[in-house]
């Protein structure tokens, strides 16, 4: 666990604070569900809603192999909204932003010797709190 604390200490030098708007309960709930899903599968969280000049990292964690740094983009939707799955919202612009963020995090934390990857967690939720939640995790897809 001390390694995780030192990673966060270095990371905090480039962190600009939470980016989530107070009026986005669906996104906040989706990120909480994605975090719960990943932690249950052995991921260690080292950052949430990290905002940088180039954009935002929803979740930053260490993979179960205890070596790989993972930037996680969370896309959330209510089941009743539209026909598109949340993961379909990853645009070319978003992919470029995530790659730039991954490079910035790697350089600023001297992680050139560590694998860094970008994952997507798609979260679909029922309309009510406590409703059905479905998470789909895509590794190294961006």
Q: Can you count the helices (H) and strands (E) in the chain?
A: 3, 5
Question: What is this structure's pTM?
Answer: 0.79
Confidence of residue 115 (pLDDT cuts 50, 70, 90): very high
For the domain covering 2-138, report its CATH number: 3.40.1350.10
Tens digit of each residue's pLDDT (9 = 90 or more) over 78-96:
876 566 788 888 999 999 9
The first and second tokens of residue 114, run together, are 């560590």
62: confidence class by pLDDT, cuts 50, 70, 90: very high
Residue 105 — pLDDT band, cuts 50, 70, 90?
A: very high
């Amino acid at each position: 666990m001390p390694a995780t604390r030192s990673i966060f200490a270095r990371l905090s030098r480039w962190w600009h604070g939470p980016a989530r708007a107070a009026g986005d309960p669906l996104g906040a709930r989706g990120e909480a569900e994605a975090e719960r899903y990943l932690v249950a599968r052995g991921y260690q969280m080292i950052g949430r809603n990290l905002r940088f000049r180039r954009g935002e990292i929803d979740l930053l964690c260490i993979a179960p192999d205890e070596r790989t740094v993972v930037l996680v983009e969370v896309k959330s939707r209510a089941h009743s909204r539209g026909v598109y799955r949340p993961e379909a919202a990853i645009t070319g612009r978003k992919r470029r932003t995530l790659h730039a963020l991954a490079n910035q995090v790697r350089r600023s934390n001297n992680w050139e010797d560590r694998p860094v990857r970008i994952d997507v967690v798609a979260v679909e939720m029922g309309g009510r709190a406590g409703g059905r939640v479905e998470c789909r995790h895509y590794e190294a897809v961006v």
